[in-house]
Structure 1
Amino acid sequence: MPVKTWLGKVLPSSHSSVRNQRMECSTLPVTVECQISSPTCEYKMEEVLGAGSFGEVVQCRKLSSGETVALKVIKDSSKMEEAKDEERVLIELKARGSDRYNIVNWNDSFTFQGQFCLEFEKLDMNLHQLLKCRLPLSLMEIRPVLQQFLKSVGIVHCDLKPDNIMVVDHLQLPLKVKVIDFGLALHTSELSRGTTVQSMWYRCPEVLLGHECNEAIDVWSLGCIAVELLLGHSLFDGCDEYSMLSQINTMLGKLPASLLNAGIFTSCFFRKKAKKWRLKNRAEIITAYDGTQPLNKLSDLLEARFVRPINCTDEDRRAMQCDLEIFVDLVASMLLMSPQKRARPCQILEHKFISMSHFDGKFPNSA
């Protein structure tokens, strides 16, 4: 039986029989097949899709139209203010035409039996789940996925990761994606030094070090995601901040002194001697470090073996190698240590990997 998902939340197999049963849900003041009411609509609850620290995600059918939607129900009263913040961001994004920016459609918010509910369009599966059920993506598939995120709306998502990027319909529209979960989203002016945002494996150096941040933090996360879609596993997989910085330092080179000097957490991970910073060794760090590194350096991607189409010609192979080199060049610009030097969305859109100008006239007989 396929796993039911929405908003990156997985329905455990033990819940697969809840349809057509009246099962009391301990974290919701509702039961499967009961009705949920908003001031403007009646919903029939069909299935619990998943759960998180915020509450539950429930698949519902709107009785007036028959439309299937997903309700994010906030069960924890301590999360209520965060939910209201997310609603404010969603209202602003909707006013700016969120669908043009590949952002999940938010339809409504209301309170039901004292619990706050957000109604969204129902999507299919997230990129993490997509990678589990198929081979890693090819460069030709990664290109349009990246392209869909490069329009600025003036808001920093702060938690881009494969779980928060949903495929609209993996069968009919396999490369159509939308961003979800704006619970941590902020305007650039609201990003304060030392605030912990971003999931660990997609956390950029300036956040790890407690440096000033801007929208470049999302570009870093997107660069990590791009490589993960190609490899089928995470680019960085540190178990804590120290192991993340160690992997970044090993793969991408030493962090710039300007970043280290201004980071309020730098001294937790680095020691300064004779005006030069060095990464502390394991014995000097309290937190555990497992030393796991999926790649030694980014250029190792050029030597990695990826799935290639059957019956490739020599020209096809040269074209794919050329595409891979340009892809690595793009990702390297997205993963520059200095946020000031890191590629901006407009520069990414103009890059050869996105425009495909590196193919012009070079491989006339390649598919």
Structure 2
Amino acid sequence: MSAGEIPPPGSVPVWMELGDHGKRVQRGAERRSRSPLRRRSVERDRFGRARPRRSTSRERDRRRRRSRDEDKFKGSLSEGMKADQDSSSEEVMEDFDAEEEDEEALIEQRRQQRLAIVQKYKAVNEDSNMGSMASEPSSPQSSTRSRSPSPDDILERVAADVKEYERENVNTFEANIKAKHNLIAQEKEGANPKKPSAPDMFTESDDMFAADFDSARLRAAGIGKDFKENPNLRDNWTDAEGYYRVNIGEILDKRYDVYGYTGQGVFSNVVRARDTARAGQEVAVKIIRNNELMQKTGLKELEFLKKLNDADPDDKFHCLRLFRHFYHKQHLCLVFEPLSMNLREVLKKYGKDVGLHIKAVRSYSQQLFLALKLLKRCNILHADIKPDNILVNESKTILKLCDFGSASHVADNEITPYLVSRFYRAPEIVIGKPYDYGIDMWSVGCTLYELYTGKILFPGSSNNHMLKLAMDLKGKMPNKMIRKGLFKDQHFDQNLNFLYIEVDKVTEREKVTVMSTINPTKDLLADMIGGQRLPEDQRKKVMQLKDLLDGTLMLDPAKRISINQALQHPFIQEKI
């Protein structure tokens, strides 16, 4: 085409042929008259030339949305054009607004449909969970699945329950136990004469809080005598075993006036004293034995106690409070809050062969699980939980977990078959499998059974016997767990059959019985209820306790109930 010739129609873009007003009219006319098929199939470039486009459904949708987005602002001030109230422009914008509103309405409709479907399935799931909970009211898994409070809410609720129990039972502890004694006595009326009870294996206990400690040893240590400093004994403060020779009336660290003796344990002896620097406040002073191993153990306990106390400034988690420490005559001394007695002594004095009231056991359970929660927060394993290491106050309503001499960081767990006192030792320790917080949960389960029944759950005479008793309750240990044990060969053969080692009653020789299968024979609920005609509310709580114990005593620690699950269990959450 030569210069000066008029180009044929269609070869020049519309924007070159029309003025401002014409352009807007043209756009409106094109928008109203343009065929949807034509829009989808042909698109012109900036010079008005038609170019082919892919016509897939996805591309067509994308073009349609892009076209609407581009048209949205054309003819408006956003393009730098003058505002014009032209009627045709208004019609175009009205058409676009109507199309946009239709699309938004469709999107909103689909969104509401999706929400309705989600709510429908959510309601179905909740109904099924509630149904399973109704069919298994005592299952820890079902009870925790249906609850949704936060962990902090759960802890607050349990702590509030503990406080309420303390207020309501200041003077009822002994009365409740007497009521339990009477129930059991009624069932025994007319029965066979009472068999002589088994010898108390804790009578000669060397536990640090033993009530009936050997009086001859006390006299040898000078307990009960008025203290008079003997210059000839100034270099003889420690006996041959490394224990400090305690004297009533002496002053420790220029402030602690010793007035009583509590007992002696493996690591130390404990005295009662009054702090003259704190207006005679009563304290318990634990005096560590003076040898290298015991000093090292004492310093480790000091470290863990400080960590636990710092993590619980408000004293809500029931671990013993450490006031301070000092050295006296080369002995490390730890100063604690004073508490009345330990649960071993409580059982001996009030619940021998009978146990404690279910109300007390529930509150003690709550407090022990709170202590386990704090231990886990601080990455600490106690590794020696038992009634002897749990102290109570005068009213027997508040307990504190004590004696952290065996404690360790969870990452420093040494594989040894003799960790934890034997009756409370988890099976993974016995077979030499790596362990964690589950060993303390197992010990708590054994302790709670003992608190309610007054009897030791697993009174094994050896590690092998402990495994047999545990499997009598729960069945044979899973092969997968056995294979992971470093000491499995001591208790299982190559085919993973249990090798039960016992002494023949006739020949008094050791014999080994190969057991390929072990079926549960011990009935936990029957042992706990016995012949008692319990009131319905108490019977319900005992059944819940049995269910909780089933969770704490799983042989496989991976299947054992967690601390959070235990805190949400009906036995813990539901009041009597």
More helix by share: 2
Question: Which one of 287, 291, 315 corresponds to residue 73 of structure 1?
Answer: 287
SS at match of 1:223: helix
Alignment of 1:96-135 (within 5 A): 96-97=311-312, 99-135=315-351
Task: Specify the alignment match of 1:143 in structure 2.
Answer: 362
Cα distance, 1:318 vs structure 2: 3.1
Distance 2:449 2:486 in 1: 29
The aligned counterpart of 1:156 is 381
State whether structure 2 residue 234 is matched by structure 1 residue 9.
Answer: no
1:235 Cα shift? 0.5
Aligned to 2:269, the other structure's residue is in SS state strand
Task: Note the C-alpha offset of 1:122.
Answer: 1.3
Change (3 A) 1:203 1:287: farther
Please say if residues 271 and 280 of structure 1, whose CA atoms lie closer than 8 Å, have aligned partners that are also in contact: no
Residues 186/304 of structure 1: CA separation in 2 closer, same or farther (3 Å cut): same
Q: Hey, what's the Cα distance between the residues in 1 that align with 2:382 and 2:525?
A: 28
- Number of the residue aligned with 2:412: 190
Q: 1:9, 1:281 → 2: CA distance?
A: 32
Deviations 1:114-146, CA, capped at 9 Å, x for gaps: 111111111111111111111311222211110
Which residue matches 2:562? 344
Match of 1:228 among 450, 474, 492: 450
Pairing 1:91–2:306 present: yes
Query: Which of the pair is proportionally richer in strand?
Result: 1
What CA RMSD, in Å, does the superposition of the two structures yield over aligned residues? 2.7
Q: Which residue of 2 aligns with 1:22?
A: 227
Contact 1:9 1:50 in 2 (8 A): yes
Percent of residue pairs bearing the same amino acid type: 26
1:330 to 526, 548, 556: 548
SS at match of 1:282: strand
Distance 2:541 2:334 in 1: 42
Deviation at 1:22, TM superposition (A): 2.6
- 1:252-293, Cα deviation, whole Å (9 max, x unpaired): 2111112111011111011132xx433334379x9899xxxx
**CA positional deviation for 1:7:** 5.3
Residues 194-246 of structure 1: per-residue CA shift (max 9 Å, x gap) = 36321000000001111010101111001111111111110010111011111
Residue 74 of structure 1 contacts residue 117 of structure 1 at CA under 8 Å; is this kept in 2?
yes
CA distance in 2, matches of 1:287, 1:108: 51
Aligned residues: 332
Of 470, 489, 512, 1:267 maps to 489
Tell me, what secondary structure is at the counterpart of 1:46? strand
1:9 Cα shift?
Answer: 3.3
> Is 1:301–1:328's contact at 8 Å kept on the other side of the alignment?
no
Secondary structure at the aligned position of 1:128 is classed as: helix
Residues 282, 101 of structure 1: alpha-carbon distance in 2 compared, 3 angstrom cutoff? same
Distance 2:227 2:297 in 1: 31
Tell me if structure 2 keeps the 8 A contact 1:272–1:278.
no
CA distance in 1, matches of 2:223, 2:501: 51
Q: Which residue of 1 aligns with 2:531?
A: 305
- Tell me, in whole angstroms, the C-alpha distance in 2 between the residues paired with 1:195 and 1:242: 11
Instruction: Structure 1: give runs of 5+ residues left out of the alignment.
Output: 290-294, 309-316, 360-367
Deviation, 1:12, is 4.3
Q: Does 1:355 align with 2:570?
A: no
Gaps of 5+ in 2: 1-205, 513-520
TM-score normalized with structure 2 length: 0.54
